[in-house]
Amino acid sequence: MGVQDLLFWFFSAAMLLCGVLVIANRNPVNSAMFLILLFINMAGLFLLLEAFFLAIVQILVYAGAVMVLFLFVIMLLDIKEGARKPVKKLAVGLAAAVGLALSAEIWLAIQGPAAPAGAPLHGGLKEVVKQLFTNYLLPFEVTALILLVAMLGVVLLSRGREVK
Amino acid sequence: MVGLDHYLLVSGLLFALGLVGVALRRSALVTLMCLEMTLNAANLAAVAFSHYLGRAEGQILVFFTIVIAAAEVAVGLAIFVALFRQKQTVSLDDLTSMRS
């Protein structure tokens, strides 16, 4: 078993553990902290898959910008812990059924014939960027427009009534 | 030797975990976090396919997904802030005014 395999198991186990802790924690701030850890482990997996650019973007955008936004809103809204109502039985049953069914389906799916293996994409950043700015130039520009629209929407939503 | 199957298994488990979180948690903020988990699971599958099949398209798809997810989180959190101003709560149990 090589170093890469060990790292894969480490990152995967840590990531799934963080996922469980995100759900299990009562305090939203703790959930957010474990979500940051989850994103960092995901970046590690991206590194193992030689998607170096995406690993950096994952850290910068997700663990950085998105989670700061989450924490900011959690602290802004000051969500009270309070006495929590017990979890609904129906929700637990539904969640367990969905989770188990999905896991079983994945397990069955990977028992089938192995996926056709192409030549692994080693250090494919050059290829990725070339495609991004030629074949996928229009989606790229549309994405920039979506960011602008989202920004305007957020400003409009959070401006409040009294400023009108 | 770790292969495509292992990455897909981890991705599927993370997706199931996110789905369970969406079903279980009643705080809108944590629900949004669990949605991010499911998005990340899909991202991992796309990058794994991209690496093992030698195609660059998967990474481009993930790049777009990350950008859209960031925009989605910003808009979603702004909606929650506006909602909190109106109702003083973001618990999904208390936001039932559209339930008939």
Least confident of A14-28, A36-50, A102-116: A102-116
Chain-chain contact of A8 with B27 (C-beta, under 8 angstroms): no
Percent of chain A scoring above 90 in pLDDT: 45
pLDDT bracket for residue B91 (50, 70, 90): confident
Chain-chain contact of B77 with A146 (C-beta, under 8 angstroms): no
A117 to chain B, any CB pair closer than 8 A? The answer is yes
For chain A, give the mean pLDDT.
85
Residue A130's nearest CA partner among A53, A58, A44, A46 is A53
Q: CA-CA distance, A107 to A87, in Å (whole number)? A: 29
Q: Which two tokens stand for residue A143?
A: 């994405």
Q: ipTM, 2 decimals?
A: 0.91
Task: Could you list the beta-strand ranges (E) of A39-78.
Answer: none
pLDDT bracket for residue B26 (50, 70, 90): confident
Partners of B27 in beta bridges:
B91
A15 to chain B, any CB pair closer than 8 A? The answer is yes
What's the mean pLDDT in A61-73? 91
Q: CA-CA distance, B11 to B46, in Å (whole number)? A: 10
Residue A34 and residue A67 in contact, taking contact as beta carbons nearer than 8 Å: no
Residue A20 and residue B24 in contact, taking contact as beta carbons nearer than 8 Å: no
Q: Which two tokens stand for residue A134?
A: 């030629």
Q: Which two tokens stand for residue B99?
A: 């339930």
User: Per-residue pLDDT for A123 more than 70?
Assistant: no
Q: Which two tokens stand for residue A85?
A: 């109502």
Instruction: Choose among B4, B34, B90: nearest Cβ to A77.
Output: B90
